[in-house]
Amino acid sequence: MPELPEDEDRTGDEATVAEEMLDYLRVVLLRKAHGLTDEQLAQRLGPSEMTIGGLVLHMALVEDIWFTQRLEGKPQPSPWADVDWTDDYDWDFHQAHTFTHAELVAQFETSVARSRAAYAAAQSLEAVARAKDPQGNDAKLRWIMVHMVEEYARHCGHADLIRESIDGTTGD
């Protein structure tokens, strides 16, 4: 099972605290997927189309959007560059069931590694993303980090409910 970080620096500088919180939530999401079969990763709760596998793939995409595309200004990497997003805006959620558990985790870890490299290369939290969002807005790395913590926190909550409905597992 992915291990939660043991010691967090509650007195650290802003960048350290943001990075540690983001890393903590990344592990929490992977722990929700740990030990599930491919079929369980595709299991839904009630009327929602969300699955734990879909959440893992979605967050891999979100990592690449904010850190690779926006912060670094690079083109969308694979597999995202090969998707017709106009045909299916929620492709990541709808196609996660076509990935095995190992493939989902590998994609997630690849995307997270790109993200870590991107923010490690930034000079500070004041660094402005090289690419604007679709509405033409700029964003500083500080905003991106806080946004990612919010995004993970929301989706880890979704994963909590789905995982509990699958096998009763609760907690981080």
Q: Above 80 in pLDDT, residue 4?
A: no
Distance CA 55, CA 148 (A): 14
How far is Cα 115 from Cα 42, in angstroms, rounded to an integer?
A: 26
What pLDDT digit, counting tens, does each position of 7-16 carry? 777 778 899 8
Report how far residue 62's alpha carbon sits from residue 50's, in angstroms, rounded to the nearest whole number: 16
Q: Where are the domains of the chain?
A: 14-167
pLDDT in tens, 133-167: 889 999 999 999 999 999 999 999 999 999 999 99
Amino acid identity of residue 83, one-letter, is: V
Q: Determine whether domain 14-167 maps to CATH 3.40.50.1820.
A: no
- Residue pair 30/1 in contact (Cβ under 8 Å)? The answer is no
Rg of the chain in Å (alpha carbons): 16
